[in-house]
């Protein structure tokens, strides 16, 4: 198994500790007045999403995690299972609702997503940064209410509810930022 020496430590490194995959989210080099140089690292567990702090002496090493990022296509939802297909190998992967988390709000059939695999099994999923969704239901906007910051709840084709400006109507296509869940703009067909 490959490993990383302290000289290779950097933000974004994927390592394995106690059998779990971790993402190095912070790494600081510390050289005290006397003694050995140290690396203070902050690591996020990719399965449980917990964060831990570790300190390594110069010359230490950490095992590299067997993590692969693939392009996957969303196929369908079956109860609490979301089914995806690898674009290259056509292998299908099932993710639980907990693994998909809030990304379900933006998933449409046939959509391309980024999936992280750990030891060949699916770990997490990332939808595209911006998606276009059709408004299925919303209350009509009040006449004369033209203030720019007035919003109302709308339900989109995926079943998710989000906040949009009052001029958005049923049947409109809207662009949404999947990282923040915020409305960006109305889209013309």
Q: For the segment 129-159, what is each residue's pLDDT rounded down to a tens digit?
A: 999 999 998 887 666 655 567 888 899 998 8
Overall domain count for the chain = 3
In this structure, the answer to whether residues 21 and 47 fall within a common structural domain is yes
In this structure, the answer to whether residues 54 and 94 fall within a common structural domain is no
Domain coverage including residue 156: 130-187
What percentage of residues in the chain have a pLDDT greater than 70?
Answer: 95
Model confidence at 20: pLDDT above 70:
yes
The reported pLDDT for the residue numbered 147 is: 58
Q: What is the CATH number of the domain that holds 43?
A: 2.30.30.30
- Which residues pair with residue 67 across a beta bridge? 118
The reported pLDDT for the residue numbered 102 is: 84
In this structure, the answer to whether residues 139 and 174 fall within a common structural domain is yes
Does this model's pTM top 0.75? My answer is no
CA separation for the pair 111, 76 (Å, rounded)? 10
CA separation for the pair 172, 161 (Å, rounded)? 14
């Amino acid at each position: 198994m490959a490993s990383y020496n302290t000289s290779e430590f950097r933000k974004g490194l994927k390592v394995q500790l106690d059998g779990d995959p971790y993402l190095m989210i912070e790494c600081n080099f510390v050289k005290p007045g006397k003694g050995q140089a140290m690396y203070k690292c902050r690591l996020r567990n990719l399965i449980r999403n917990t964060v831990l702090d570790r300190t390594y002496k110069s010359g230490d090493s950490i095992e590299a995690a067997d993590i692969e990022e693939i392009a996957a296509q969303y196929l369908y939802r079956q109860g609490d299972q979301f089914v995806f297909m690898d674009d290259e190998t056509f292998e299908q992967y099932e993710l639980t609702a907990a693994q998909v988390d809030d990304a379900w709000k933006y998933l449409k059939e046939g959509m391309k997503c980024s999936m992280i695999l750990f030891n060949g099994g699916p770990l997490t999923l990332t939808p595209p940064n911006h998606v276009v969704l059709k408004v299925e239901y919303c209350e009509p906007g009040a006449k004369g209410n033209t203030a720019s910051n007035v919003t109302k709840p709308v339900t989109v084709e995926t079943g998710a509810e989000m906040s949009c400006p009052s001029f958005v109507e049923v049947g409109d296509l809207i662009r949404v930022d999947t990282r923040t869940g915020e409305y960006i703009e109305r889209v013309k067909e």
